[in-house]
Amino acid sequence: MKNTTTKSLLALITLSLLIISSCGKKVDNPTVQNKEAIMKMEVICKGDIQSQVAVLTFLAVNAAGELISIANDTTGKITAGPFLQNSDFASHNLTTYHSTMKVSSVSVMLAISPKVYATTQDENFSMTIKIYFDGNLRDNQTFSYDQLSGGDFTTPKDFDYKVNVN
């Protein structure tokens, strides 16, 4: 009987130690991941760029928050944050870019303003920005400056947004 009690007591102690040690284990949650993908961006310009002032810049970061370089597919130039203005859009209606490494998000900053107070419908300039992650279209937006009523006062329109891989 003493042998059975000792075995039961040892089993109870072993079970207690297993329960206590398993409570302290860290459980990884596989559903919480920072998704990353190769980014491709298309910048499409329509209208008369000479009637507007347009400035575009964008930044791509990875899950660790590090800045990722972006390559201009037309020129081959690689930079951490392309800065484009009128002369960069004049010769191309479509310009494409891609990230050199996987990114988790892209931040886009765009400002458009008329050069002259009277902008006719034919001179209106618009810019469409399409962002792809691993070949899948994630964001597609068109931006333009709408003439203010009266035509005697204009201010730049600023567009600032972020697109995540998800």
Domain ranges for the chain:
39-161
The confidence score (pLDDT) of residue 108 equals: 94
Phi, psi angles (nearest 5°) of residue 42: -110, 135
pTM: 0.71
- Reported as a single tens digit per residue, the pLDDT across 90-119 is 666 899 999 999 999 999 999 887 775 554
- pLDDT value of residue 150: 45
Tokens encoding 118? 């009277």
pLDDT for the residue numbered 116: 58
What value does the mean pLDDT of the chain take?
77
Give the CATH architecture of domain 39-161.
Answer: Sandwich (2.60)
- pLDDT on residue 157: 77
pLDDT digits (tens, 9 = 90+) for 19-63: 555 555 444 444 446 699 999 999 998 877 777 788 899 999 999
Backbone angles phi, psi at 133, to 5 degrees: -120, 120
CA-CA distance, 103 to 69, in Å (whole number)?
10
State how far Cα 138 lies from the chain centre: 9
Cα–Cα distance for residue pair 79/44, rounded to 1 Å = 20
